Amino acid sequence: MAVAIPTSPYDPTPLEEQPLGNAPLVRVLAQIRHPALLSLASDAATETALRVAQSLSEGYPIFEAGRETAVIVTPEGVKEQKNSGASIWRLRDPKETWQVSFSKEFLAVETSAYEGRTHFFQQLQAVLSTYVEQVKPPSATRIGVRYTNRVAEPQHLDRLKQLVRPELLGPVGTELPGSARLLQTVSQAQFSVPNGGSLLHWGLVPPNGAFDPTLTPLESQSWILDIDAFHSEKSPFEAKAITELARRLAVQAHTHFRWAVTEDFLRTYR
C-alpha cells in the first residue's frame, strides 16, 4: 500500500510513526538550553555536577568531565578546538549507546540506539526530572530535537535519485561523464514558524569528511540528512511540559523526514 508523502515539510496531515527496521538513523538528540547557572559555572560546579551524576548513576554509570569543543571552519575543512570552552559533564549507559551531557547553559540526551518516540521521551523525562531536582534551572530558552540520518551503502548512494526528493538532490542529480565524480555537496535550509522553526542539512560527505565533528567520520562517501526542529520561546523549566513539547518537535521532524524521502527510500530501509 502506498505511504502518504507530505506535500511540504510543514504539511499538517497527521503521520503515523513507522519504524524502519534498517533505518540509516545514526543519532537522535534532544537539547534544552537555559540561562547560565552559577551552580554549574562557579567553584561549586563540580559538586553540583557530581550530584547530578550520582542521581543518574543507575542508568548512566560512566562519568566524564571535560570542556566544550569549539568548531572553526578553515580552508582545509571543519576543525575542532578542544578544551577551549566551558566545563561539560557527560554520563553514559553501560553499552555507551545513550549519553546525557550538561554544562552551565544546557542539558542534552542522545542515543545511537533509537527505539522510537515512546522510549526516547520516557528517558528524556526521567533525566529532566532529576536535573530539575538537582540544578533547578529557572527557564528553558530553546528546546530542540535533532535526527541525523546517514546513507553509506554504495548500492544506495548510486540510487539517491530514486530515494530522495528532487529538491534535495542539487548537484547529485547532475549527469557527469565517466571521468568525473561528485565528492562533496552539503546544503542547508532554515524554516521559521511562530515560536521556533527547523534547520535541515543534507548532501554528500567525502570519505573521512566531517559534516559534524561529534559524529565519527566514515572511510567511505556518505549522504546525510540532518533535521533539527526547535522551539525558541522562553518557557518554565518543567520536566513534563518540556518533554511534551519535545515530543511535538519530534513529530514535526518526522514530517520533515517523510517529505524529504520517497516511498522507495521507505521500502529500501523497512
Q: How many CA atoms lie within 13 A of 39 on its CB side?
A: 17
Contact 256, 227 (CB under 8 A): yes
Band (213; pLDDT cuts 50, 70, 90):
confident
Q: Give me the mean pLDDT over the 238-255 stretch.
A: 97
Q: Give me the mean pLDDT over the 194-210 stretch.
A: 94
**If you compute the radius of gyration of the chain from its CA atoms, what whole number of angstroms results?**
20
123-137, 159-173, 220-234: lowest mean pLDDT where?
Answer: 159-173
pLDDT at 270 over 80: yes
Band (1; pLDDT cuts 50, 70, 90):
very low
The strand pairing partners of 201, in sequence order, are 188, 226
Amino acid at 60: Y
To the question of pTM greater than 0.85 for the whole model, the response is: yes
pLDDT at 79: 53
217-230 per-residue burial string, b: 16 or more CB within 10 A, e: under 16: eeeebbbbbbbbbb
The strand pairing partners of 29, in sequence order, are 110, 146
Of 25, 1, 33, give the one whose Cα is nearest residue 253.
25
Amino acid at 137: P
User: Within 10 Å of residue 13's Cβ, how many Cβ atoms?
Assistant: 10
pLDDT at 74: 44
pLDDT at 255: 96
Show Cβ contacts of residue 10 under 8 Å, excluding neighbours closer than 6 positions: 191, 193, 252, 255
Show Cβ contacts of residue 57 under 8 Å, excluding neighbours closer than 6 positions: 63, 91
pLDDT at 73: 47
